[in-house]
Amino acid sequence: MNLKSRIANSSPVSILLLALLVVAAVPGFRFMTMVLSITDEPYQALNAMTPACQPFAPLSAWLIHAFGEIAGYNLLDIRIFAWSWQVLGVLLGIVAAYMLSRKLNLSLAAGVVAMLTLSLCHYGERYAGWSTFSATSMPLVFISLICYMRRPEAATAASVGLACSFATLLRLPSVACIVVVAAVLIFYRPGFTLTRRQRAVHGGIMAGAFLASALLVLILIYGSLPQFFSAIAENRIGSHGLRDMVSSLITLSKPTFTIFFVIMGIAGFVAVIFRDIRRHIVRLMAVVGLLIISYYALRVVMQFEFARAILKVSFLTLAGSLLYIRRHQPMDLLHTALWAMAGLSLSAAVGSNMTLLETVVFPFVPAILIFTRPCLSDNVLKYTFVIAGIISCWFTFRINQRETNNHLTYPVAVHGNPMVEGIEATAECGLPVQKAIDIFTPFIADSAYNCFVVRDNSEYAYEYMFGRRNPILPHYWDTLPLMDVEEYARGVRHMLDTAKAPAAVLLVSSRGSRKKEPELISDMKRRYRTVHSDTTFTIVVKDRQ
Amino acid sequence: MTIPEKKQFSTSTAILSILALFAAAGCFIRLSWYYESCDVPFQIMTGWGDFRTSVVAPLSAWLTGIVGKPLHFDLMPMRYFACTCYIAAILIGMIPAWQLSRNIDFTLVYAIVALLLFPWCRIMEFEYSWDVYATLLIMTVFALSTSYMLRQKPWKIILAAALAGATMWVRLPSAIVGLVPAIAAAYTASGLRKRVIALISVTAIYFITAGVLLVAMYGSADTYLEYWAINKISAHSTEFILLQYGSILNNLYLTILICAGIYYVTSKVLLLKKGLLYIWLANLFVSMAIMIQALNLFVWAPLAPLFITLALLSMLFALKKNQHKPAAIALLMLVASFSATFWSNIELARMVIFPFIPVLACLICSTASERQLAGIACLCLACVLPTLYSAIHGYIKDGQIWLYSAPEGSFVDGNEHIKGFFIDERFRSQYRRVIERFTPYATDTAYTKAVMRGNEHDFMFEYMFDAKTPVFSNYWDHDTLHYNQAYLKGFNAYIDTLRPPTAILVVHRDMPKPPVAFEYENRYVPVYSDSDFTIVIKPVPGNAD
């Protein structure tokens, strides 16, 4: 056994890599307190309080609910719980990489890279929500698929069905993963010794396991299927219609295609450098020059909205390039797994109005590094991978660092509310939240008051903090200010008219975007006694007659 | 691919010639529709009075005086003249294309392409400016230098060097076009000694011509320096331009990488089998169109990145084939094109592109393989089509396409200088008001007149009313002059030199009415004031009415 293979399989190296893996996970937990999300995260946590009203992610809501019931609904605790699932996803990714390569140290080393990238370049991933759980479920589907491709038996087929069911229950639109599974079932050829009939049977087993487990969980959560369907009908989420999806897809296409073509431009120049330049020193200078040029070019791109998806686009570009390079090769295990990985990464984003920002990437990093390794003899891929990879990681890291620096430089630790205790925010975000806590907590604390929160957009943080979910349009994500929506204003008026006095109402107006006070707030001021009013917050009290 | 020779005038040549005439006629369409209120009036006004005060373009100022007189310095005739010059530049560009290809039809086809693209993709070429003369001279220098490289006749390089020297006084920064004959001479000479002699000769001719013209215009270098000290244009300092170029280069890196990426992906897609090929080509076009249409980078200089990429590609193809002459010509083309934009504060927008299209086409077609040509064709379409779409889409108003006739009421009557000039809806009312209110004073010889600018966009009002104010007349900084004490002091001193009664127009568009307007209203006789203009009359002393 030569030195290389001895190192590749030695236990001390494995232990060292495991230690590095733990170390790599630390920064992610360290900076967990940073950033107060006032929209998405509290919305998801609110749904978890009453999981029945979140039929689009029933199991996610239930998991957070179960955690909340045991450990409390502090947002930071929920965030750490959800982050652990992200970490678990990367660990599963290492398992998948090992199953594909059968090289433990290589898989662990790739895992260290993935974990470190997740810890340092995790823009948005720190928020607890459906997408957090997809980071675990998708690698699970991937592992079950690899198991099935290796041993196409009834048991492994059932495990694929169960994994898909798990992914779907965590986030319903991720049901798209069954398309990937179906494609694997049809196109994966060499490993199969099965007849067409046997494949059909396995497909049936997968579908059976999927449906049976999904039904069982849904019935356990909702009582019956009709109740689940009625929950879906009653809890449609705003701004997630087909038109919104297409519109956001087009908006996001701008940075996506730009980053894609820039990376391919880098690849083109690398191809020229290695094909046409003979002298090593000139090559080196050209590569360094290209690195600098690419850095400055991508610095321009990073000014675009949503360009923070650079790492995710780079990942998909790499997957696409590998698929292109292997296009003439048969659909063997590795080739099929590569297709499956790209498909599963994307299927986690289906149904989101943030599309590519929601793709699952970090858990698949170990696998893609394994896929890339045999192609690294190709200079074009190797150097493009290095240049684009370094720059992509750097910019995503910078985005996080900038955000973190803001918090470290001017931290506003929100206090006085157990739900958001421990989370630090920027002054811009934290001060209004703190003000709301200061002015409205006395009413919440006084059991004599019947308290309500009325928001003007998707800033769900206030409802969450005060534990007062507004039942009118509880899933509103559209851009039109909510207080201008007639249905909402009518509902609020009715709710307050019928509320038992004394009642305290916190009305939160959209900061900055409005030129004058919303009509609903003016109306509330006319009807009830105003105890506080500024550009953002208004508190009115309905007194006993 | 080699371009077959075709020297005979045939039926196809006749048809192409007629088409070229039509295409050239089409260049004059929509000339009135470009709204511009700073550069054009500023540059036309350099032709009024002492041309020597235009220190960065004295020869252009002198020519403006010569050309402008018969045209009464009116905006539209000057624009038509400028357009004719640009068409002439395209014709000059045909000469090297013909010399390289020896195919008359090929040359005509690409001249037609240039003429067809010109009215839709032009950025600054609609306006009358120094660039008109600079472009003609740059193209002539390039054509002579290229011709010298193909057939070494000394008169060509002597004339090229002399014209390059003249270019210095047509637009000072364009003096770097002197590099073109220098490179041509150095490339053509064999042996180091001959190269040095050629370089010295060209440089000597260049400087002698420049020196002779300087003496002819200013009398001596000292006089020029005196003029320079008083009349240098602001907002073009070395620091500012270098800063500007920093951001331009970043944009340029990005756009070149994108173009390279498009070319690279296209060349790979073209390797696919037929069925997949069409699907992927369609995919590619949609993604490119979304990206380029969405990117503002291409709006300001839509063809510059494409031009640079193609020039670099043609150099690369030529070098790969060991054809050094086409590579050197491509280099000359890049230098010549860039010399037109050098030291401009509006980035790449002033690069000479359209006249180089026939030469570029010739270089590419003679050096690229068929697959490379297909990739380049895709790249060109991908870059040009969205620009054309944007240009056409910009003229679709109120659901009515008005490509060839302006909407009713878009021209403002009452001022001869801007007769036939399309005025944007945003500014129409302003122009109407100022013409209506100030023209009676401006045309009445009993009054002298003065216009106080707020910023560089108000040069138009000095121009419209023949009231060029010699105070801060080369000021291009973006701050408001109304708050600049030196300007106010100078302006007050200037109006004191005018024979009273003096009609003073204070322009304060898109800003709050400045204190100086109130001060003038108190000090003199106010006759009109609104949110954009204030008109006061400085009466004859002792006659307050």
| HEC secondary structure over A502-520 | CEEEEEECCCCCCCCCCHH
Give ipTM to 2 decimals: 0.81
Kindly indicate the confidence band of residue A95, based on its pLDDT and cuts at 50, 70 and 90.
very high
Structure-token pair, residue B42: 């500023």
Write down the residue that tokens 């009518």 correspond to: A490
- Tell me the CA distances in angstroms from B67 to B78, B81, B107, B171, B524, one per residue in order: 8, 9, 31, 17, 39
Query: How does A209-218 read in b/e, with b if 16+ C-beta sit within 10 Å?
Result: bbeebbeebb
The 3-class SS string of B118-153 reads HHHHCCCCCCCCHHHHHHHHHHHHHHHHHHHHHCCC
**Partners of residue A290 in chain B, C-beta under 8 Å:** none
Taking CA atoms, what residue in B is nearest to A264?
A: B261
- Number of helices (H) and strands (E) in chain B: give both, helices first: 21, 6
Q: Do B291 and A258 touch (CB under 8 A)?
A: yes
The answer to whether the CB atoms of B290 and A265 lie below 8 A apart is no
Query: What is the model's pLDDT at position A333?
Result: 85
Q: How much is the pLDDT for A36?
A: 81
Q: Does B313 touch chain A (CB under 8 A)?
A: no
The count of C-alpha atoms lying within 13 angstroms of the C-alpha of B381, restricted to the half-sphere facing its C-beta, is 13
Mutating which of A257, A301, A303 best tests the B interface, going by the most B Cβ atoms within 10 A? A257
Distance from B329 to chain A by nearest Cα, in Å? 20
Written as tens digits, the pLDDT of chain B (545 aa) is 678 888 888 899 999 999 999 999 989 887 887 778 888 899 899 888 888 988 989 999 999 999 999 999 999 999 999 999 999 999 999 999 999 999 999 999 999 999 998 887 777 788 898 889 999 999 999 999 999 999 999 999 999 999 999 999 999 999 999 999 999 999 999 889 999 999 999 999 999 999 999 999 999 999 999 998 888 877 667 777 777 777 777 888 888 888 888 888 888 888 877 777 777 777 777 777 777 665 655 455 567 888 888 998 899 889 888 889 999 999 999 999 999 888 877 667 788 899 999 999 999 999 888 888 888 888 888 777 777 776 666 655 544 445 555 666 678 888 889 888 888 777 888 899 999 999 999 889 899 999 999 888 889 999 999 888 888 888 877 778 888 899 999 999 999 998 889 999 999 987 888 899 999 999 999 999 988 899 999 988 766 55
Q: What residues of chain B lie within 8 A of the CB of A246, using their CB?
A: none
- CA dist B176 and B13 (Å) reads 37
Chain B: give the shortest CA distance to residue A333, in Å: 23
Q: Which one of A261, A277, A395 makes the best mutation probe of the B interface by having the most chain B beta carbons within 10 Å?
A: A261
Two structure tokens written together for B141: 């220098």
The upper half-sphere exposure of residue B512, i.e. CA atoms within 13 Å in the direction of its Cβ, equals: 3
Q: Which chain A residues are Cβ-neighbours of B369 within 8 angstroms?
A: none
Mutation target vs A (from B248, B263, B264; most A CBs, 10 A cutoff)? B264
Confidence check: pLDDT of A514 > 80: no
Tell me which chain A residues have a C-beta less than 8 angstroms from the C-beta of B287: 253, 257, 260
Do residues B463 and B482 make contact, with C-beta atoms less than 8 angstroms apart? Answer: no
Torsion angles phi and psi, residue B55, rounded to 5: -70, -25
- Chain A positions touching B265 (Cβ under 8 A) are 261, 264
Q: Assign residue A496 a region: left if phi > 0, alpha if psi is -120 to 50, beta otherwise?
A: alpha
On whether the CB atoms of residues B340 and B354 are closer than 8 A, the answer is no
Distance CA A195, CA A190 (A): 12
Q: Which residues of A touch B256 (CB under 8 A)?
A: 265, 297
At A486-512, the pLDDT tens digits run: 888 999 999 988 988 899 999 998 766
Q: What is the pLDDT of residue B36?
A: 81
Distance of alpha carbon B251 from alpha carbon B260, whole angstroms: 14
How many CB pairs (< 8 A) connect A and B?
Answer: 81
Measured CA to CA, the distance from residue A79 to residue A128 in angstroms comes to 5
Question: Residues of B with CB below 8 A from A296's CB?
Answer: 249-250, 253-254
Cβ(B517)–Cβ(B529) under 8 Å?
Answer: yes
Which residue in the set A262, A268, A296 is minimally distant from B263, CB to CB? A268
Does the pLDDT value for residue A417 go beyond 60?
yes
The CA–CA distances, whole Å, from A511 to A49, A282, A477 equal 27, 56, 16
Provide the CA A7 distance to its chain's centre, in angstroms: 36
Which of residues A411 and B327 earns the better pLDDT score? B327
Sign of the four-CA dihedral A240, A243, A246, A251: negative
- Chain A touched by B265 (CB under 8 Å): yes
Q: Do B268 and A324 touch (CB under 8 A)?
A: yes
Cβ–Cβ gap A298/B294 under 8 Å: no
pLDDT for A132 beyond 90: no
Cβ of A297 and B268 within 8 Å?
no
Residue B466 phi/psi, 5° resolution?
50, 40
Q: Cα A469–A471–A476 angle (5° rounding)?
A: 90
What is the C-alpha separation between B89 and B132, in angstroms, rounded?
9
* Phi, psi of A152, deg, nearest 5: -75, 85
* pLDDT tens figures, A267-302: 989 988 888 888 888 889 999 999 999 998 888 888
Q: Which residues, 6+ apart, have CB-to-CB distance to A165 below 8 Å?
A: A209, A210, A211, A213, A214, A217
* Calpha distance B350→B126 (Å, rounded): 11
B263, B256, B261, B367: which is closest to B317 by C-alpha?
B367
Res. A8: pLDDT tops 50: yes
Please work out, in degrees rounded to the nearest 5, the angle formed at the alpha carbon of residue B32 by the alpha carbons of B29 and B36.
135
Comparing CB atoms, the residue among B253, B260, B261 nearest residue A296 is: B253
Distance CA A96, CA A147 (A): 9
> Higher-confidence residue: A376 or A159?
A159
- Amino acid at site A242: L
Whether B8 contacts B105, CB under 8 Å: no
pLDDT value for B235: 67
Closest chain A residue to the Cα of B247, Cα to Cα: A300
| Contact B263/A at CB under 8 A | yes
Residue B257 forms contact with A (CB below 8 Å): yes
CB neighbour list of residue B320: distance below 8 Å, 6 or more residues apart: A276
Q: CB distance from B376 to chain A under 8 Å?
A: no
Q: Which residues in chain B are contacts of A298 at CB distance < 8 A?
A: 254
pLDDT of residue A513: 66
Closest-approach residue (CA) in chain A for B312: A269
A126 versus B141: the higher-pLDDT residue is B141
Query: Using omega within 30 degrees of 0 as the cis cutoff, is the peptide bond preceding B358 cis?
Result: no
* Subunit contact B254:A298, Cβ cutoff 8 A: yes
Instruction: Answer whether B450's CB lies under 8 Å from B491's CB.
Output: yes
Integer angstrom CA distances of residue B335 from A437, B185, B348? 64, 15, 13
Arithmetic mean of pLDDT, A258-263: 89
Give the distance from residue A535's alpha carbon to the nearest chain B alpha carbon, in angstroms.
26
- Pick from A110-114, A394-398, A523-527: least confident: A394-398
Q: List the single best residue of B251, B255, B257 to mutate versus A (max A Cβ within 10 A).
A: B257
Assess contact for A505 and A519: CB atoms under 8 A.
Answer: no
Chain A residue numbers touching B312 (CB-CB < 8 A): none
Residue A245 — very low, low, confident or very high, per pLDDT cuts 50/70/90? Answer: confident
Mean pLDDT of chain A: 87
| Spatial distance between the Cα atoms of A520 and B427, rounded to a whole number of angstroms | 38
CB within 8 Å of A258: residues ≥ 6 apart: A301, A304, A307, B254, B258, B291, B295
**How does DSSP assign B196-244, residue by residue?**
HHHHHHHHHHHHHHHHHHHHHHHSSHHHHHHHHHHH--TT--HHHHHHH
d(CA A438, CA B441): 65
Question: Would an 8 Å CB–CB cutoff place B209 in contact with chain A?
Answer: no
CA distance A201 to chain B (A): 32
